[in-house]
Amino acid sequence: MKFCETIFALAFTAPAFSAILPLPNSFPGHAVDIDNRTLDQIYAVARNETGELIVLWGGDGGCPDKSLCSLRRFADSNLAEISQGDPTIAAWKARFPDVKLNLTVDVSKYHDSRVNRQYQRNGDDGADIAVLQTLHDFGRWKREGRLYPYKPADWDNVYSAIKDPEGTFLGAFICKQIH
């Protein structure tokens, strides 16, 4: 039997909502205060921003080809047509209708390599938020000043072992799997 611990981490990678993210980068000396605003207060500010919120989310992108879905036991169900992000997009639209969400669900190792290639090409990470299972990128992205620090309400209640002290990234989901 093999035990495996997984942490999905969350990081802000671009200034999509400049009024929400208080400082421009993760270089040392850019400390931020805990943001104690309510979601409604943050939403009111975000409604005045332009563009869309681009989120990269680590996971499986769904199964667009039914012939491949038989391998995943989805062949006879509607799950073959649904992306893992669809329920999140629907909930977002219901709660925050004036802020467009562009959510892409794919394997974390593909997201991080796309972010790195885009940054090398034009200096832009191509996403506002990254929720990835692969944690190794966040420390480097922080050192490169590519992450925007943000400390949500109840920051002090998040275990220190799963968050960056400056607020550039934090564990969003912790799962223990038994193999």
Instruction: Using pLDDT thresholds of 50, 70 and 90, give the confidence band for residue 59.
Output: confident
Pairing label, strands 169-178, 34-35? unpaired
Cα separation, 34 vs 14, whole angstroms: 19
> What is residue 162's predicted lDDT score, i.e. its pLDDT?
86
Q: Residue 176's beta-bridge partner residues?
A: 5
CA 85 from centroid of its chain's CA atoms: 12
At 5, list the tokens: 């611990």
Q: 43 pLDDT exceeds 80?
A: yes
pLDDT of residue 26 exceeding 70: no
Spatial distance between the Cα atoms of 7 and 9, rounded to a whole number of angstroms: 6
Q: What is the spatial distance between Cα 93 and Cα 95, in angstroms, rounded to a whole number? A: 6
Nearest to 64 by CA among 125, 23, 31, 105: 105
- Cα angle, residue 13 at apex, residues 159 and 175 outer, rounded to 5°: 35
Tell me what percent of the residues of the chain surpass a pLDDT of 70: 68
Can you name the residues that pair with 105 across neighbouring β-strands?
57
Residue 111 has pLDDT above 70, yes or no: yes
Q: Is the pLDDT of residue 56 over 60?
A: yes
Q: How confident is the model at residue 7 (pLDDT cuts 50, 70, 90)?
A: very low
Q: What is the dihedral of CA 104, 108, 112, 117, to 10 degrees?
A: -70
21 vs 18, 25, 27, 76, CA distance in Å?
5, 10, 14, 44
| pLDDT at residue 168 in the model | 87
pLDDT digits (tens, 9 = 90+) for 83-92: 788 889 999 9
Amino acid 177: pLDDT: 67
